[in-house]
């Protein structure tokens, strides 16, 4: 019987051992390669792609909500708040968290003043973050919190608030829901009022609830507070007088502007009708426009001051020179010029006092078109005043080479030229400042969050971005000429003038009425029923503190004259302004001098100044 253990052939043990080792090494190699691959993949995912996956995880778990910051305040000259941002709550949700969305919508609708059906459709969104309504009132927030609805959350935002309501609404403008300026100073100075946006990270928690947290420990603000030249009390006076006056004569609209004569500061700028920027959506876009700077009108007889100033300053006429006013009817080329009342011979001062179109045309036509045009531009017409008011119009002045003889004649009494109310009051303010044209302005300075005052801002290249406060004046006529014109304007408000009822006891008022026809594009000519009525002046006449203009659009006959529609408004504003600023009444002494022997001759400045103090009554 053979042995059960068959002996292995020579070398078999070594072969079997080798084969086992090969298999073991192979397995170990495969395992090693798998481990290496896993480690490599892990390194790739955890190290090389970590930021990518972190971002993807963040997007799945978080949402960054960027909210506008708290805008800077707008204050009047006395520090009274005209615009401020107040903290409010904004309602949001993740719709998937809401149970019974229809029921939620029905309970929210009456509080938010949104139709229930519209709100249900809104809540059907699949977005993980959904604004329901932003910038709620405190009352709305309290009412919603009392509902205790799971899934409704609030984020803090800021809402622009105008404490005085309609006061200076067209001047201030308004902001949108994202705190961006959309009109007026809010728009024009958005760069300085607006701060850095604030980022909130909305995270998902255990029960799929959300909680807001600020990404950084502190908020970064770079907004500024604007300090205006506006006086809110005087603004209220101007708006009240303008509203009553326009309604009294049943006019379409009106504008009133009050400047601080020595500096050009805009103390009041009223528009009627105005609007409440807290409720700007409830008003037509046309009502939100600042007509005082954006609309052009034909200034009418107020422009005669510019005509006479130019002719006197050039020495073409003398203060006592007489002109024949053609008894109220004068033919120029194919046009007939008319006066409201017939006049014979009038001295230059009487031309202003009686407001003769015909004699104004004769005076203006003594100058060459280019010569007259040069003075018109010196007085600021045809160019923006750069008062810092958004939307300011440059007006329209026809180039002198395009003037016809009729154009030359009608421009002398303020027709055929477009000007903004701000341009007109600034031009007359040059007479009040004895011949110096002073740029008007409304922003005194900007204040940063640390209390620093700034009147200039520059970009990186050193170019000026903004310049606040007063700017350098420029002389446009001689001092003596301006004083003569002041006396002429005083005569307008005295007995025999076109606006004697403007007189304020104890004060000398320098002024000028204006009545101009509106051009009707549908007729292709000037309307016989639509007018601009205006009055411009300053007081006290010989030491002026205030220069003011009132314009009324389309007062119907018989109140279409500047003396009837605009002058009473001017008087009320000026009288209350003088009392408000404690301007004491005073009457300058009357100096009587001998007139020049030859009226046609150009007189020297000393004689001009003497004549300028003569009482014209």
Give per-residue pLDDT as tens, 183-197. 999 999 998 998 666
Sign for the pseudo-dihedral over CA of 133, 138, 140, 145: positive
Asked if the structure places residue 591 within a domain, the reply is yes
Asked if the structure places residue 296 within a domain, the reply is yes
pLDDT at 94: 80
Distances (CA, A) of 132 to 92, 377, 450, 471, 509: 5, 55, 36, 48, 59
The band of 44, judged by pLDDT with boundaries at 50, 70 and 90, is confident
Distances (CA, A) of 185 to 52, 258, 388, 446: 45, 18, 8, 13
DSSP string computed for 64-90 = EEEE--PPPPEE-TTS-EEEEEEEEEE
Pairing mode, strands 62-67 and 265-272: unpaired
Neighbours of 123 (CB within 10 A): 18
Asked if the structure places residue 111 within a domain, the reply is no
pLDDT at 617: 33
The band of 356, judged by pLDDT with boundaries at 50, 70 and 90, is very high
pLDDT at 3: 53
pLDDT at 11: 60
DSSP H helical segments within 386-530, as ranges?
A: 405-411, 421-432, 479-492
Please tell me the total count of domains within the chain. Answer: 1
pLDDT tens, position by position, 87-96: 887 888 888 7
Pairing mode, strands 265-272 and 253-260: antiparallel
Are the beta carbons of 442 and 229 closer than 8 angstroms? yes
Asked if the structure places residue 29 within a domain, the reply is no
pLDDT at 209: 45
**Distance (Å, rounded) from C-alpha 226 to C-alpha 82?**
10
Least confident of 167-176, 500-509, 514-523, 598-607: 598-607
**Distance (Å, rounded) from C-alpha 475 to C-alpha 303?**
19
Average confidence (pLDDT) over 40-53: 71
pLDDT tens, position by position, 598-610: 333 333 333 333 3
- DSSP element (H, E) containing 52: helix 50-61
Report which of 293, 266, 615, 242 is spatially closest to residue 429, judged by C-alpha positions.
266
pLDDT at 197: 60
- How is residue 170 written in tokens? 């067209």
**Distance (Å, rounded) from C-alpha 515 to C-alpha 563?**
9
Instruction: Give the domain extent around 329.
Output: 232-438+473-612
Asked if the structure places residue 582 within a domain, the reply is yes
Q: Buried b vs exposed e over 195-220: b needs ≥16 C-beta within 10 Å?
A: beebebebebeeeeebeeeeeeeeee
pLDDT tens, position by position, 543-595: 999 999 999 999 999 999 999 999 999 999 999 999 999 998 875 544 444 44
The band of 9, judged by pLDDT with boundaries at 50, 70 and 90, is low
* 382 vs 24: which has the higher pLDDT: 382
Mean of pLDDT over the chain: 85
pLDDT at 5: 57
Average confidence (pLDDT) over 3-26: 65
Are the beta carbons of 88 and 135 closer than 8 angstroms? yes
- How is residue 345 written in tokens? 């011979």
DSSP string computed for 210-266 = EEEEESSSS------EEEES--HHHHHHHHHHHHHHHHHHT-SEEEEEEEETTTTEE
Asked if the structure places residue 185 within a domain, the reply is no
- Residue 283 main-chain phi, psi, to 5 deg: -120, 155
Strand partners, 419: 297
Which residues are CB-contacts of 489 (< 8 A; sequence separation ≥ 6)? 305, 352, 431, 510, 511, 512, 537, 541
* 524 vs 376: which has the higher pLDDT: 376
- How is residue 128 written in tokens? 């993980």
Sign for the pseudo-dihedral over CA of 519, 522, 528, 531: negative
The band of 219, judged by pLDDT with boundaries at 50, 70 and 90, is very low
pLDDT at 615: 33
| pLDDT above 70 coverage of the chain, percent | 84
Average confidence (pLDDT) over 446-472: 89
Least confident of 11-15, 197-201, 206-210, 335-339: 206-210
Residue 79 has pLDDT above 50, yes or no: yes
Residue 267 has pLDDT above 60, yes or no: yes
Sign for the pseudo-dihedral over CA of 159, 165, 168, 169: positive
Asked if the structure places residue 159 within a domain, the reply is no
**Distance (Å, rounded) from C-alpha 268 to C-alpha 550?**
12
**Distance (Å, rounded) from C-alpha 308 to C-alpha 314?**
10
Least confident of 56-65, 231-240, 380-389, 526-535: 56-65
**pTM of this structure:** 0.79
Q: For residue 488, what is the domain's CATH number?
A: 3.40.710.10
The band of 222, judged by pLDDT with boundaries at 50, 70 and 90, is low
pLDDT tens, position by position, 128-163: 788 888 878 778 888 888 888 888 888 777 888 999
Asked if the structure places residue 132 within a domain, the reply is no
Residue 7 has pLDDT above 80, yes or no: no
Residue 314 DSSP label: T
* 578 vs 101: which has the higher pLDDT: 578
Least confident of 17-21, 416-420, 505-509, 517-521: 17-21
Least confident of 56-60, 91-95, 121-125: 56-60
pLDDT at 611: 33
């Amino acid at each position: 019987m053979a042995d059960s253990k068959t002996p292995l052939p020579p070398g078999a043990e070594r072969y079997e051992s080798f084969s086992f080792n090969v298999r073991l090494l192979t397995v170990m190699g495969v395992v090693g390669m798998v481990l290496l691959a896993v480690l490599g993949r892990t390194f790739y995912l955890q190290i090389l792609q970590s930021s990518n996956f972190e971002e993807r995880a963040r997007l799945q778990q978080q949402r960054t909500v960027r909210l506008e910051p708290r805008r800077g305040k707008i204050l009047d000259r006395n520090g009274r708040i005209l615009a401020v941002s107040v903290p409010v709550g904004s309602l949001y949700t993740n719709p998937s968290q809401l149970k019974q969305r229809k029921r939620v919508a029905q309970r929210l609708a009456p509080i938010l003043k949104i139709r229930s059906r519209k709100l249900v459709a809104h809540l059907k969104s699949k977005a993980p973050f959904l604004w329901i309504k932003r910038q709620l009132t405190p009352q709305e927030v309290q009412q919603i919190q009392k509902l205790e609805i799971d899934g409704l959350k609030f984020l803090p935002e800021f809402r622009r608030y105008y404490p005085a309501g309609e006061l200076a609404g067209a001047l201030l403008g308004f902001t949108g829901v994202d705190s961006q300026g959309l009109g007026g100073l809010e728009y024009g100075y958005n760069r300085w009022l607006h701060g850095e946006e604030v980022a909130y990270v909305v995270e998902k928690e255990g029960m799929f609830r959300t909680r807001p947290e600020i990404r950084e420990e502190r908020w970064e603000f770079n907004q500024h507070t604007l300090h205006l030249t506006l006086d809110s009390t005087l603004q209220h006076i101007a708006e009240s007088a303008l509203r009553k006056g326009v309604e009294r004569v049943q006019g379409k609209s009106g504008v009133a502007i009050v400047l601080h004569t020595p500096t050009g500061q805009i103390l009041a700028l009223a528009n009627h009708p105005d609007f409440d920027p807290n409720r700007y959506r409830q008003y037509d876009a046309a009502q939100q426009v600042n007509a005082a700077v954006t609309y052009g009108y034909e200034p009418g007889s107020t422009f005669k001051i510019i005509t006479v100033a130019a002719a006197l300053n050039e020495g073409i006429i003398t203060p006592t020179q007489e002109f024949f006013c053609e008894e109220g009817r004068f033919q120029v080329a194919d046009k007939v010029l008319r006066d409201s009342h017939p006049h014979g011979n009038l001295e230059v001062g009487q031309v202003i006092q009686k407001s003769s179109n015909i004699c104004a045309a004769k005076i203006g036509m003594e100058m060459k078109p280019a010569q007259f045009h040069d003075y018109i531009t010196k007085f600021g017409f045809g160019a923006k005043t750069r008062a810092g008011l958004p939307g300011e119009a440059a007006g329209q002045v026809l180039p002198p080479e395009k003037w016809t003889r009729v154009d030359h004649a009608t421009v002398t009494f303020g027709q055929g030229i477009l000007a903004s109310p701000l341009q007109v009051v600034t031009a007359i303010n040059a007479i009040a400042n004895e011949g110096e044209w002073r740029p008007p302005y409304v922003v005194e300075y900007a204040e940063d969050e640390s209390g620093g005052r700034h009147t200039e801002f520059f970009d990186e290249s050193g170019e000026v971005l903004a310049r606040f406060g007063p700017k350098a004046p420029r002389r446009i006529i001689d001092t003596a000429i301006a004083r003569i014109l002041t006396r002429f304007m005083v005569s307008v408000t005295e007995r025999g003038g076109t606006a004697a009822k403007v007189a304020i006891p104890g004060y000398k008022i320098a002024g000028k009425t204006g009545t101009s026809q509106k051009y009707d594009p549908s007729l292709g000519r000037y309307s016989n029923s639509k007018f601009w009525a205006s009055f411009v002046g300053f007081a006290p006449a010989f030491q002026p503190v205030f220069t003011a203009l009132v314009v009324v659009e389309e007062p119907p006959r018989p109140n279409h004259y500047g003396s009837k529609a605009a002058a009473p408004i001017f008087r009320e504003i000026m009288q209350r302004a003088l009392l408000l600023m404690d301007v004491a009444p005073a009457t300058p002494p009357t100096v009587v001098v001998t007139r020049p022997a030859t009226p046609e001759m150009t007189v020297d400045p000393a004689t001009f100044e003497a004549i300028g103090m003569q009482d014209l009554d």
